[in-house]
Amino acid sequence: MDLFKVYPLYNVKPVKAKGVYVYDENNTKYLDLYGGHGVISIGHSHKKYVARLSAQLKKIGFYSNSVQNPLQVELAQKLGSLSGCENYQLFLCNSGAEANENALKLASFKTGKSRVIAFNNSFHGRTSAAVAVTDNPFINAPINRQQKVTFLPLNNSDLVTDELKKGDVAAVIIEGIQGVGGLDEGTTAFFKELEKACQKRGVFLILDEVQSGYGRSGEFFAFQHHHIKPDIITTAKGMGNGFPIGGVLISNKIEPKFGMLGTTFGGNHLACTAAISVLEIMESENLIAHVNEVSNYFLKQIKPISQIKKVKGKGLMLGLEFDFEVAELRKKLIMEKHIFTGGSNNKKLLRILPPLSITKNQINKFVIALKTLLDE
Ligand SMILES: Cc1ncc(COP(=O)(O)O)c(C=O)c1O
């Protein structure tokens, strides 16, 4: 059988990884400033993570959600206390799209409404409602286009208010910081207006923290830079450091009902163990403080590079904007300098999403390589 080829592939075959490095079959070492698309939080193959997951696999890897799983409770408590979101309930699933799908479904169940407000250039995943609220017609099939979605520009609260007044909106969904779209984000004033307008109209405010969460922005969740309290928060990527897991954090004011949401694999023993281990390591290695320190260092080091026209994002979720398309630069970084970076819908933006444990030395390596390529 052949693969269903939907991904354009770089000619690199990683076979092992450690910390901030990925190695191919010839043992060539690549500096990972991409984190496999913002997924690697605590670093590749962290010793404690590998040990904990291996031990769990020997005990029990999976059983269904029809029996007690104390690891889910442990994860919920730890996530609540580390993120400062104690007043939420946790529903576990398997991916970012699934987390958003469940968040939107919940908002629709509870409000009895179905229209959603999303924002220009958003990305929320590729499943039914998640892709419908993603601002990319190319990845929306006719079946997805049946959903009622209104896309608005970021940072125009009057337009949001006008839409909410119509009374048919179930949810507003917004990324803490846009990822795939290219690192644009709402201002604090805009987030506060959204919170107020949603509260006033009984509309659910859903913060998609799938990419911007788990410390990547320098706060546990990116919305925490703006001091708001969403009704629902979705998370995935960094949560399992590569082990597939997603989570929906649901405000305590929303009551669950048996059967309302569900999944076979979500919250299984291995996934919970991975997620608990990530939180333990984030805490013991003080990774969020580290993100802020190395992010400041990164920004200082790239400041003199005149070809960079604008820097977007926060923490270790950064976008370097040039006045030319970066596809060739990205390719040269991988093939010649052995450094992975990311791209986005904004073709002039180079995305930086390294494991949160990246060091200043590793940042120096990138800066030297980037300067060399830009000055060629
Ligand atoms: C903000 C955001 N939401 C949702 C998703 C979808 O996550 P997944 O690919 O795990 O379904 C992504 C993936 O890139 C994302 O960046």
Smallest CA separation from ligand 1 atom 4, residue: 124
Q: Say if CB 216 and CB 356 are below 8 A apart.
A: yes
* pTM to 2 decimal places: 0.98
Residue 116 lies in a domain: yes
Report in angstroms the alpha-carbon separations of 127 from 278, 327, 336, 358: 26, 27, 36, 32
**What is the per-residue DSSP string for 119-152?**
ETT----SSHHHHHTSS-GGG--TTGGGS-EEEE
Smallest CA separation from ligand 1 atom 7, residue: 96
Residue 75 lies in a domain: yes
- On average, the pLDDT of the chain sits at 97
Residue 178 lies in a domain: yes
C-alpha angle 281/184/222, rounded to 5°?
30
Full domain range(s) for residue 221: 47-284
Strand-pair category, 232-235 with 204-208: parallel
Q: Say if CB 202 and CB 111 are below 8 A apart.
A: yes
In short, whether 342's Cβ falls inside 6 Å of ligand 1 is: no
Helix 157-165 and helix 188-201, axial crossing angle in degrees, nearest 10: 10
Residue 42 lies in a domain: no
> For position 94, which CATH number holds?
3.40.640.10
Q: Say if CB 36 and CB 237 are below 8 A apart.
A: no
Domain count, the chain: 1
Instruction: Give the bridge partners for 208, in sequence order.
Output: 175, 234
Residue 1 lies in a domain: no
User: Which 8-state DSSP code applies to residue 256?
Assistant: P
Q: What is the pLDDT of residue 121?
A: 97
Identify which of 39, 100, 183, 210 to mutate to test ligand 1's pocket (most ligand atoms within 8 A of the CB): 210
The secondary structure element, H or E, covering residue 311 is strand 310-314
Residue 104 lies in a domain: yes
User: Which 8-state DSSP code applies to residue 19?
Assistant: B
Smallest CA separation from ligand 1 atom 13, residue: 125
Q: What is the pLDDT of residue 24?
A: 97
Convert the pLDDT of each residue in 271-288 to its tens digit: 999 999 999 999 999 999
Residue 337 lies in a domain: no
- Residue 90 phi, psi (nearest 5): -110, 130
Q: Which residues of the chain have pLDDT under 50?
A: none
Q: Which of 281, 275, 285 is nearest to 241 (CA)?
A: 275
Report in angstroms the alpha-carbon separations of 369 from 27, 98, 348: 20, 38, 18
Say how many Å lie between the CA of residue 235 and the centre of ligand 1.
9
Q: What is the pLDDT of residue 81?
A: 97
Say how many Å lie between the CA of residue 372 and the centre of ligand 1.
33
Report the b/e string of 163-189 with b at 16+ CB within 10 A: bbeeeebbbbbbbbbbbbbbbbbbeee
In short, whether 95's Cβ falls inside 6 Å of ligand 1 is: yes
Give the separation between CA 52 and CA 49, rounded to whole angstroms: 5
Instruction: Output the six-digit token pair for 369.
Output: 């390589």
In short, whether 282's Cβ falls inside 6 Å of ligand 1 is: no
Residue 352 lies in a domain: no
